[in-house]
Chains A and B, each alone.
Chain A
Amino acid sequence: MSQKIMMETKKLNKSFHFPVIKDLDFTVQRGDLILIQGANGCGKSTLLKIISGIMKPDQGEVVFYEPYKIGALIENPNFIENETALYNMKFLIELTTTFDIGSVQKYFEMFNLNIRDKTRVKKYSVGMRQKLGIIQAVMEDQNFILFDEPTRGLDRASVAVFENLIHTLNKIEGKTCIICAHDGVQGIKFNRILEMDDGKLIEESYL
């Protein structure tokens, strides 16, 4: 797999009541599979929100060097509660393209969810919502995927499915993935592991 810089953050700064991200320079190469670890509140979610465009940095910028389509599951997956899972997926896909049920169905089957289920999302369990959150982050052939605590609320079988999915997306399809997690991702072979501390990222291992 050719290694080429896909994204770079330049001198990112973000403060709430105190600085969370400080002059953060961080590069991601195409095909990277990155684990970001760190204590609660150290700024991992904030970093993913800034990269995905949900949040604006106080200073600095995020630069992409090649075409990208971001998929993201950051914090709790939220949906239109009074609609079905299928409607929610359709709503998100139709923001950018036409809806094709086939592209979504395989992910529903993978996570043992019924795509024709008429149950409204508000009746879904935490684990089912998490599965939907994972599905929406990958269903549109996104090539730059961000996950924040993706295995939260998932049972062991679903964690294994998630690990296989990451393997397929990264090792077979060559997609770039960044995962922030404390646990539940031991089965994933990351090529980079970083520790977030004091608003900066420290490279712990690089394979």
Chain B
Amino acid sequence: MLRYYFKTFKSFWFLLYMAMIISTFIKYEWSSVNISVPIDDWLITNHMITMFTNNAFLIYSFVRTAALERVIDQVIVRIKEERAIAEMIKISCLDILLYISLTYLILLAINSSSIMSLGVVIIFLAMNICLFAIYEILFILTILHRIPLSFALIPFILNILFHYTVIPMIFY
């Protein structure tokens, strides 16, 4: 299953996600040419990551989930349910690591000098990790047929709710 996961890096939706990340980098660098914009402030208030980068990543995850959901019975026959779940947890952990690293950590590392508050950055990243862990649990439950595939669309709603309600309540 891990091999299939790595193969999906060549899929259209993953490449779109990468394109969104590059656009985010360019947008930040562009906006901070004249005025110095703190990177942590920018990440929290910017809508681009929520609307484009996150949605591209969620579509990529949803498409991969739908593909694995179709073949899970054949996987379970071969490796049993316990090992299939372990493989999916590995994929989910890699997915969260990949998302946090590509979307935030690289940008933060490049612009570490413009971080205003390290505490805010840590809380923001921790919240994102928790949120994506919820998404991944929904994806695993979908693949195992414990919930219908349509439930894997919930992350798209949570993504918007998180950005426009939870984030302002905590950081503004």
Chain A residues proximal to chain B, CB less than 8 Å: 49, 52-54, 70-72, 74, 78-82, 88, 91-92, 94-96, 136, 140
Contacts and interface: CB of A to CB of B under 8 A. Distances in A.
Name the 3 nearest CB pairs between A and B, nearest first.
A78-B70, A95-B78, A80-B67
Interface of B: 1, 3-4, 67-68, 70-71, 73-81
B75 A78 contact: no
A80 B77 CA distance: 16
Contacts of B73: 49, 54, 72, 74, 78
A92 B74 contact: yes
A81 B80 contact: no
Contacts of B78: 70, 92, 95-96, 140
B3 A91 contact: yes
Contacts of B3: 91, 94
B42 to A, nearest CB: 36
Contact of B77 (A70, A91, A94): A70
B74 A78 contact: yes
Given A74-B73, A136-B74, A80 B4 contact: yes
Given A78-B73, A92-B74, A96-B78, 13 more contacts: A52-B77, A53-B81, A70-B77, A72-B73, A72-B77, A74-B73, A78-B70, A79-B70, A81-B67, A91-B71, A92-B78, A95-B79, A96-B79
